[in-house]
Amino acid sequence: MPHAKQKAGNYGETLAVKFLEEKGFEIIEQNYRFGHGEIDIVAKERDILVFVEVKYRNNLEYGPPELAITKSKQKQVRKIAEMFIYQKGKEIDFERSRIDVIAILKLPNEQPKINHIINAF
């Protein structure tokens, strides 16, 4: 049974997928795992392969969700993105790739605030 943190993360990813689809992105894969890490969403925007890291928070106890993306997390996401391209790149038609961040803050009694940072790192 998923614990509270995992449930919140899943909710955040569901919001992010809906947000991306509404913007015309094609979702290719969710929760692509390699080694000890994963990329939350792999999508395509026209001819660009987009790796999306989703950060969801329901309070500001540790600051806004954007702050959760440390240098080591960036390095890990880059490495996993490279492995995705190595493993599956031939199956997908794309010219470029980038890494986006979708930071979602859902405070009690408020609508979720979604910050889409294109080409974040």
Average pLDDT, the chain: 94
pTM of the full structure: 0.93
- Label residue 91 left, alpha or beta by phi (over 0 means left) and psi (-120 to 50 means alpha): alpha
pLDDT at 5 over 80: no
What tens digit of pLDDT does each residue of 86-100 get? Answer: 999 889 999 999 999
Confidence of residue 6 (pLDDT cuts 50, 70, 90): confident
Q: What is the dihedral of CA 73, 121, 50, 100, to 10 degrees?
A: 80
Question: Quick one: tokens of 35?
Answer: 């080694």
Residue range 4-117 in CATH 3.40.50.720: no
Confidence of residue 9 (pLDDT cuts 50, 70, 90): confident
Mean pLDDT across the stretch 71-98? 95
What tens digit of pLDDT does each residue of 18-32 get? Answer: 999 999 999 999 999
